[in-house]
Amino acid sequence: MAFEGAAATGTAGLAMAIAVRHTSNRVMQPTFASPSDTSPVEMSDLLSVPEFEEHARRCMPAMAYEFLASGAADENTLRWNREAFDRIRLRPRVLQDVTNVDTSVSLFGRTHELPIILAPIAYHRALHPDGELATAQGAAASGTTWVVSTATTTTLEDIAGVATGPLWFQLYVQPDPEITKDLIQRAESAGCEALCLTVDTPVQGARDRQARSRFALPAGVTTPYMTQLASGRPLNDTRRGFVVTWNDVEWLRSIARVPLLLKGILTAEDAERAVAAGVDGIIVSNHGARNLDTLPATIDALPEVVQHIGGRMPVLVDGGIRRGTDIVKAIALGADAVMIGRPYCYGLAVGGAAGVRRVVEILRTELQLAMQLMGRGSLREIDSAALWSPPAR
């Protein structure tokens, strides 16, 4: 997505025709439509990500849930993203010493407690009144890195003010290079440790279900980096078809002071171009199945990219990850880490910062249990031998 991993990040008009404006750093309290179920829920009572989604569906305004949960067109890819994981069978080893398991991974000079990154998703204050501030707090409490979306409804400075954990920033290249440069400098000044350039959205997909819900931002919620009225220069509206090319990638690499990852790579050919452009990492993503329907599931596309990259840079994958066993499968197929989008946003909608933290805790526990039951004491021990047979295509 930027949304799920391509988690539904947006640019001006990306999600729908919404008027947005540049505001001060003051956070206004949004006005929400009434959800169907506002009964409180104890976070510890929720034992899985699917349970969080069901509670989110009941407690969120219908149009906010449709924005978060929907995909493109007939939603074939959305369905395949999940089904592809279910087809993969695990191959355990017994009588191994798994008293302790090591779930840590090193990416770009930082050791992460888990191979989980929280993917960029737009409009967090449409999901919960505390929005991105709650996400930052929940991510830090769970020991995970969060990628802030260009379509954040809270300024980077305000997010950095409450964040005690690492941040990355998701970027859309803008028609005006100076605006792009300014966004990068703001992100770097706020302490973002990496840039994730979304490369799969020259135009937005046919998001029929979202359009049918008439999704709109709640009253009082704006996106500070979608429009800059002070300069009179609009940011990129993907409905107008502003095209980003490999030349832009090379330019970004020349000005960014932090690692640059490309989000939205699915093929060996594009992976090779990424290497040639000098980027630092690849995110195998189909934008949370929100752009082009009938793309393959990302877990099915992952092996081609991994085999072509050959360890030259980190490869992450997003899309459809709902269980700790899904993380094991992604690592076994060559991913260095995974991104989750919708799951932590369901947590945000249900319980704010505590919900974000609880979703990650669930996946942490499931990952640890899966590794112990698989007889693998560390992520380094998870490879293709952990799979019963190559997944059916």
Catalytic residues: 287
Per the CB < 8 A criterion, the answer to whether 284 and 321 are in contact is no
Name the nearest CA neighbour of 2 among 359, 286, 213. Answer: 286
Name the nearest CA neighbour of 284 among 261, 308, 317. Answer: 317
Structure tokens at 165: 């954990």
The CA distance from 104 to 94, in Å, is 22
Per the CB < 8 A criterion, the answer to whether 384 and 105 are in contact is no
What would the DSSP string read from start to end of 89-107? -B----S---SS-B--EEE
The CA distance from 232 to 230, in Å, is 6
In the chain, how many H helices and how many E strands?
Answer: 12, 12
What would the DSSP string read from start to end of 17-65? --------SPPPPPB-PPPS------GGG--SHHHHHHHHHHHS-HHHH
CA distances from 90 to 156, 233, 390 (A): 41, 52, 10
